[in-house]
Structure 1
Amino acid sequence: MADSISLNKFVAGTGICSRREADRWIEAGRLSINGTVAVKGNRVEPGDHVTLDGRPIGEQPPPVYLAFHKPAGVTSTTDPKDPDNLIDFLNYPQRIFPVGRLDKASTGLLLLTNDGDIVNEVLRVENNHEKEYIVTVDKPITDRFIQRMAGGLPILGTRTRSCEVERLATRTFRIVLTQGLNRQIRRMCEFLGYRVLTLKRIRIMKIELGDLPVGHYREMDTFLNHF
């Protein structure tokens, strides 16, 4: 047992999904170990044969960490049924998946990997990882707008955390968030009577978009030293 690892960690380590998704597969009875349907708490030992829906799961591939400049119109999903899905756009030679998401109309920095463990680490809300955006809205920004955006607003049945907001131009501002509510910035602006025209993420943690061209990616050694 000393060399065994939890089943969800083993599956995530193959790069096909996150640990959370692996847990859902276990609950659905889709995973088996040595021909026996797996249950929560199972561990994998060296030499064990693990299958998903009867098909063998391969050994862990080399880790991949990408910083990608997502264009508008590309959906942050691996679902092949979506004609604008991220994976078809990138056409990367290994199976990868996004760490978090950007909505379809937004642009900027998106991280991708085949490392299921890193996904959980980055996405944990309690880690307070910073994400920085440049946003242009449809009318002039007031001091009151900046104050209210920074102080927190009621959306989606909760209140947004206090955050850093800076006006850059008449209709453009910079905002740094430490949470990731669905379409958070757009909803915050709508609450104050503004409509977002462009939204670009320029930083996640210490990873910066920099001068990476739209639609291109750069490979990284890891995300860990950027927390």
Structure 2
Amino acid sequence: MTEPVRLSKRMAELGLASRREADAWIERGWVRVGGAVATLGHKVPADLAAAQIAVHASARSDQGGKVTVLLHKPVGYVSGQAEDGHAPAVVLVQAATRWAECRAPQRFERAQLRGLAPAGRLDIDSTGLLVL
């Protein structure tokens, strides 16, 4: 028999949320296991099925407002905040610069883009993958 694991870990393994998100949802009372509200640190069987975990709609809407953007930063843009008259790379995330063959139905809202920050840094003279 396998050892029980934290519910947040199992939720992450099942692709329901990151561990951090799952812990936040559990703290807010948005997660139920077998009909009972889960508590932080709740242990579950390592093979618990996703069908046994109920997530409140508030958690789904919370998650839906978060985005991660992969952007090819060209030379001439700064990674983070605008500086010395140079625009930040996030200004490139707009309908006009979207890949023509992209089939994803999602469109970004301004509120989602305002909160984006680069993970790492590319200087103004560098080009490459930027994760926002």
TM-score bracket relative to the smaller structure: 0.3 to 0.5
TM-score, with length taken from structure 2: 0.47
Give the helix-richer structure, 1 or 2.
2
TM-score, with length taken from structure 1: 0.30
Give the strand-richer structure, 1 or 2.
1
